[in-house]
A and B are shown apart, each in its own frame.
Chain A
């Protein structure tokens, strides 16, 4: 099902090394990866395997040591800070594990923030669709401190969606949530893929979270070691267990 769609993001042999010489840490050891449009991809792997690093590199938040990354056909590894910022603003949405919202702005203002920063008028119909999908209509004037953790993450998700980015990156978006609110957020992400055709790359530790995705990518020690389509929690869990053992042996 991946072949017939144009990739939203295409990475070729991406390497990322922190530091140099004796203390050098290879976070990404040459990763090649395509995420087609409209796909919900989960990235899994043991702690320290390079998940966050991969996501940061793909999103243009961090520079790569070598390799190429094309976001919607644009090579991003050579872009200036300003161009990258513009790219993030227009083509990328983010959901972080915590601290996603500006505390002085209310929910609606947070959702509109990227467009306000860019000085663009949001597409009101789309905004309404997003808000209704997130189910936050009665909470729009509340500030982050007045929202629950799950609601905050849903606001963050709505913000990521509101500007119709090419791709959304989410780093453990449910890491701080209980299973019920985590489920709500994940259900919403799934819905945005199914109903709105959104592309999402999500880093997660939880097999259940990964099971919401179309595809799971497994990392270990900076390598892409495995992939799984149409995951179920059980299959993901099994794969993780098998991954842990050779991964450790390789170190």
Chain B
């Protein structure tokens, strides 16, 4: 059986989803995630290159998802966070291993590798980044 019209898209996003590959403009110094091909600040003067982000950052904002989108029912309720990465870019992702009452703005977080979604029992398993609070902090 052929499945998943999104296979090619999923495959192209592997570097981004597995390793937080974004981009950075060496002209103005701004980092982008997801990556950009043209710097919105510098336009033609921009010098964009690929950058792998360290996966370390701080919680910029958060919310609790109680009514999840389809495919995420088993995980709800779960916290979603906007992480301000050390390199500057902001990323939205799930926060794991943390009770919601312990989530705080400014708390240090680090990237983890988890299952994002499964396409039923026979389809592809999508893996990628989530975040957890940095232990001992």
A, B bound: no
* B binding-site residues for A, Cβ under 8 Å: none
* A binding-site residues for B, Cβ under 8 Å: none
